[in-house]
Amino acid sequence: MTLHRRTLLASPAALLAMPAIAQQAPIKIGVLAPLTGVLASGGREMVDGVTLFVEQAGNKFAGRNVELIVEDDGSNPDTALQKARRLVEQAKVDFLMGNLLANTGLAVAGYVRGTGTPYFIPIIAADELTQRGRIPNVVRVAGYSASQTAHPLGDWAAKQGYKKVATIGQDYTFGHEQCAGFSRVFSNAGGQIVRQFWHPLNTSDFSPYLGQLASLGVDAVFAMETGADATRFIQQYANFGLKQRIPLMGAMNTTDQSVIRTLGAECEGIVSAAHFAEGADVPATKTFVEEHVKRFNRIPSLYGFAMYCGTMWVAKALEKIGGRAEDRAALLTAVRETELDNSPLGRPVKLDSFGNPVYDIYIRRVVRRPDGKFWNVPFASYPAVSQFWNYSPEQYMAQSPYSRDNQYIRQN
Amino acid sequence: MKRQLAWLLVLLAAAALPLLLSSYHVDLATRILIFAVLAMSIDVLAGFVGRTSLCHGAIFGVATYVVIWASAKAGWAALPAMAAGVLAATLVAALFGVLAVRTRGVYFLLLTVALGMVVWGVCLRWTTVTGGENGLRGQDMRPALLVARENFYWLVLAVAALCSWGMWRFVNSPFGLSLRGIRDSESRMRALGYNVPLHLFVGFAVSGFFAGVAGAMYAFFNEYVSPTSVAMAQSVAGLLMAIVGGVGTLFGSFIGAAAIILLENTVSWYTDRWQSVLGLVFIFTMIFAPEGILGGLRRLAASKGRTR
């Protein structure tokens, strides 16, 4: 109520001052990332990614200064929601970016649906947000939907001649979606999903699962793990002697740089599918990796890469509309129409009509570098893979979403 | 009379807040009121029955889940959805009450932790209904009149005031006095012929009812729920608010909730280490004002009265 009166009183002055303000006021970006809790290191890399791009752009997008306001979402949806409210209503940011855990992203998405604030989610992979439950002002710039990269890996596995595969995954939505993507395509290509194992988050001892995996007589294993679970799974898979016997495939997060950075030879040779590979022999990727190593002294993970590209994407859209970040409708339209051609991927990327990028997906393998560190190097690729694989969007979304009970496995 | 006038003034001051505050602060104030009701429901048990519960966050969350499910999945209107949420929470509390009333002290604490974990586990694993880790999102759950945050704040204020009055009457009723008797000496109450387990059961269910009301309001406030809303951290947060405000003071919960929520939301402006700051505040509260803020103020007032 006070707001109305104030704007009314200020309006003649504001009208006169308008052009000057538009040039001087900074573009305010609200960045949400988990800076405390178990995901803190990933959150830190997210902020690094944004910072690196903004620094390289000289702290200016479209001639306007850029102000980053970083808030800790605490890996907790309630906290994320509260912090998003503060950024939008108190700090008056022009748009929001970030969040890591799907549930924090879903909570914030529900909130911005009401406020209309543009919200960009380079990390949040929940299928729902760009499919059945999409929200017009939520765009997955430079992100991916969970099952998007798992689909082509299923196809690749079938073409390797693998007949029987078992999957193991973390028992939550992100795991269900990726395992379903892999299992669906693999079984429809004639393969057999022998068994699926689901384990709780933060499993410290995988031996019960590894013992069963060893005795199933499978040709390969698909593992969907994140963070410390991924580290432990890969270590124990090798310790159990399975590494030499059964080829291991992973979701992209299983062999993300944030995981294999801490590992040794155990991770060598694991195959995964992703739109980004830090070891790709592409000039743009090499430059990005070098700059990232120079600035932060570590090879970029998916978190740093995605936030860097996401920021780049929005910056490019802002250039198009003359930096008018306040004009939400124009910003969102520009972001949707932007084709990102100068990103570290080295290939142009654009969004599908649901706000999710269409990528060339690499099939990549963990390789030892001459300096002894490990990274993902691509050796095959699937061009123009959308979140719907080769199904039509309408047909795909008419079916119920992937879940633990809905894995779309064809019995062969 | 003087006392009623004072309460009326407090209520009027609280009602005037949205006229002075920004929209973000109105949201914070709404949140404080909701959590104060949760903290009070815990205080009913902790302060007046001598049973410290660590499952009230789960009871609160059950109401949140049911309200959002009824509204988003079953398409119910706001009022029946709210009623269903409160009813579900009360039933869960009654069930927990049956299991918990025969224990006391640390065993009661542990049992309630376990019961809370059961709720958390169900919400996490029953993906088809609860949405698992991703939780449930509601859409436009509030009736048109309550969409404006000031209006919603006033509603929450009214409900919180009613709940406070209800709980105050409850703990000061003859029944509430018998609960205090149980707190002070269970064996004597039993010897006097009181049905102690029944009293405890009713106390637990009533306290769960109020936690459910808070949880149902929270559903309309956030329009989102995930397993973190039923996790132990939620119960601990409610208990901490009751403790910081002052266990056994009932209305201290408002002060505790305000102190903790404001700290959480302002300290993080200045430092990444906001959780350390919160931790230090709790430690200092325990050392210097173990009876909580309101308890401490009362003690101060009493000692001043004596010296004069």
Distance from CA of B296 to the nearest CA of A (A): 30
Report yes or no: B139 at the A interface, CB cutoff 8 Å.
Answer: yes
Residues of chain A found within 8 Å of residue B20, distances taken between Cβ atoms: 2
Residues of chain A found within 8 Å of residue B152, distances taken between Cβ atoms: none
Residue with token string 């398409």: B75
Given this model, what pLDDT does residue B170 score?
94
Given this model, what pLDDT does residue B118 score?
94
Report yes or no: B23 at the A interface, CB cutoff 8 Å.
Answer: yes
Give Cα separations from B137 to A104, A158, A380, B74, B119 (angstroms): 12, 37, 39, 13, 19
* A109: closest chain B residue by CA: B137
Residues of chain B found within 8 Å of residue A170, distances taken between Cβ atoms: none
Q: pLDDT band for A24, please (50, 70, 90 cuts).
A: low
Report yes or no: B229 at the A interface, CB cutoff 8 Å.
Answer: yes
Instruction: Report CB contact under 8 Å: B224, A81.
Output: yes
Give Cα separations from B16 to B28, B162, B271 (angstroms): 15, 18, 32
Q: pLDDT band for A17, please (50, 70, 90 cuts).
A: very low
The A-side interface with B (CB below 8 A) comprises: 1-3, 35-36, 71-72, 76-78, 81-83, 85-86, 89-90, 102-103, 106-107, 109-111, 113, 126, 128, 133, 171-174, 176, 403-405
Instruction: Report CB contact under 8 Å: A107, B268.
Output: no
Residues 6+ apart with CB under 8 A from A362: A273, A274, A275, A276, A277, A280, A376, A378, A380, A381
Distance from CA of B23 to the nearest CA of A (A): 7
Contacts 24+ apart (CB under 8 A), A210-215: A210/A236, A210/A237, A210/A240, A210/A242, A211/A240, A213/A166, A213/A168, A213/A242, A213/A246, A214/A240, A214/A242, A214/A245, A214/A246
Residues of chain B found within 8 Å of residue A171, distances taken between Cβ atoms: 125
Instruction: Report CB contact under 8 Å: A107, B133.
Output: no
* B139: closest chain A residue by CA: A110
Instruction: Report CB contact under 8 Å: B127, A176.
Output: yes
Most A CBs within 10 A among B130, B224, B225, B273, hence the mutation to make, goes to B224
Give Cα separations from A25 to A63, A64, A275 (angstroms): 11, 7, 36
Residues 6+ apart with CB under 8 A from A296: A48, A52, A304
Given this model, what pLDDT does residue B161 score?
95
Which of B20, B137, B264 is closest, CB to CB, to A106? B137
Distance from CA of A252 to the nearest CA of B (A): 20
Instruction: Report CB contact under 8 Å: B131, A173.
Output: yes
Given this model, what pLDDT does residue A338 score?
92
* B223: closest chain A residue by CA: A110
**What is the tens place of the pLDDT at every residue in A373-406?**
999 999 999 999 999 999 999 999 999 889 888 8
Q: Picking from A234-238, A341-345, B63-67, which range would have the lowest pLDDT averaged per residue? A: A341-345
Does pLDDT of A167 surpass 70?
yes
Given this model, what pLDDT does residue A25 score?
87
Give the mean model confidence (pLDDT) for residues A71-98. 91
Average pLDDT, chain A: 90
**What is the tens place of the pLDDT at every residue in A54-76?**
999 999 999 999 999 999 888 88
Domains of chain A plus CATH, in order, are 25-146+282-358 (3.40.50.2300), 150-281+360-398 (3.40.50.2300)
Residues of chain B found within 8 Å of residue A176, distances taken between Cβ atoms: 127, 132
**What is the tens place of the pLDDT at every residue in A353-368?**
998 999 999 999 999 9
Which of B131, B134, B229 is closest, CB to CB, to A78? B229
| Residue numbers of chain B with a pLDDT score lower than 70 | 1, 305-308
Distance from CA of B93 to the nearest CA of A (A): 23
Give Cα separations from B227 to A98, B57, B77, B141 (angstroms): 21, 11, 24, 20
Give the mean model confidence (pLDDT) for residues A223-244. 93
Does pLDDT of A270 surpass 90?
yes
Given this model, what pLDDT does residue B296 score?
83
* A200: closest chain B residue by CA: B125
Given this model, what pLDDT does residue B2 score?
80
Distance from CA of B36 to the nearest CA of A (A): 16
Distance from CA of B199 to the nearest CA of A (A): 35
Give the mean model confidence (pLDDT) for residues A319-332. 93
Q: Is the ipTM of this complex over 0.90?
A: no
Given this model, what pLDDT does residue B306 score?
63
Instruction: Report CB contact under 8 Å: A1, B139.
Output: no
Given this model, what pLDDT does residue B307 score?
56
Q: Which helix (H) or strand (E) holds B277?
A: helix B274-288
Given this model, what pLDDT does residue A23 score?
53
Which of A71, A110, A404 is closest, CB to CB, to B137? A110
Does pLDDT of A107 surpass 80?
yes
Q: How many residue pairs from chains A and B have C-beta atoms closer than 8 A?
A: 89
Does pLDDT of A21 surpass 70?
no
How many Å apart are CA B249 and CA B241, to the nearest integer? 12
Strand segments, DSSP code E, in A73-149 are 95-98, 119-120, 138-139
Distance from CA of B15 to the nearest CA of A (A): 15
Report yes or no: B24 at the A interface, CB cutoff 8 Å.
Answer: yes
Are A237 and A244 spatial neighbours (Cβ–Cβ below 8 Å)?
A: no
